[in-house]
Amino acid sequence: MSLIYVLNGPNLNLLGKRQPHIYGHETLVDVEADCRKLASELGHEIRFHQSNREYEIIDWIHEAREDGAGIVINPAAFTHTSLAILDALNTFEGPVIEIHISNVHKRESFRHHSFVSHRADGVIAGLGTEGYQLGIRRVATMLKTEKKD
């Protein structure tokens, strides 16, 4: 059983309350429950975190270096600003999938650039909260492939 970290950036604690026309009505608690259920079905465990503080996300990435097999990350606004999160992700050796609930490419131009994408093995954007499940599935597939090699 591998450990997959699911990390969430700023304002995602307001999911379901903030701009539901963009982000939907599901809460982060709903997303976590769905992620836990799927991970269990796939034979994995997750650590699910959210923070509005960049340093906490970095600390969790560092923690994942020690005991995590993969990372699914929705860096939210830090996507476009954080070289520090990119640097932390660059120290992680397992698969990394970047998630965005909205289609950032249909939004303001400043949202089109992602520092995190420079490290991510894949990016899922615009599929709503279902993107988290797709990210977990992809990490699980990548981990299975690594074990075969």
- Give the model confidence (pLDDT) of 52-108 as tens digits: 999 999 999 999 999 999 999 999 999 998 999 999 999 999 999 999 998 887 766
The mean pLDDT value for 138-145 works out to 96
Q: Give the residue with greater pLDDT, 1 vs 29.
A: 29
Annotated ligand binding at 112? The verdict is: no
Estimate the crossing angle of helix 54-67 against helix 83-90, to 10 degrees.
Answer: 0
Range of the domain at 94: 2-147
Nearest alpha carbon to residue 5 among 81, 110, 95, 109: 95
The mean pLDDT value for 30-37 works out to 98
Annotated ligand binding at 8? The verdict is: no
Where in the sequence numbering do the catalytic residues fall?
A: 23, 100
The residues pairing with 49 across neighbouring beta strands, listed in sequence order, are 7
Number of domains the chain contains: 1
Render pLDDT for 93-116 as a digit per residue (tens, 0 to 9). Answer: 999 999 999 888 776 676 657 899
Q: Which of 11-25, 45-59, 123-137 has the lowest average pLDDT?
A: 11-25
Annotated ligand binding at 111? The verdict is: yes
Query: Model pTM greater than 0.75?
Result: yes
Q: Could you tell me the CATH number of the domain that includes residue 37?
A: 3.40.50.9100
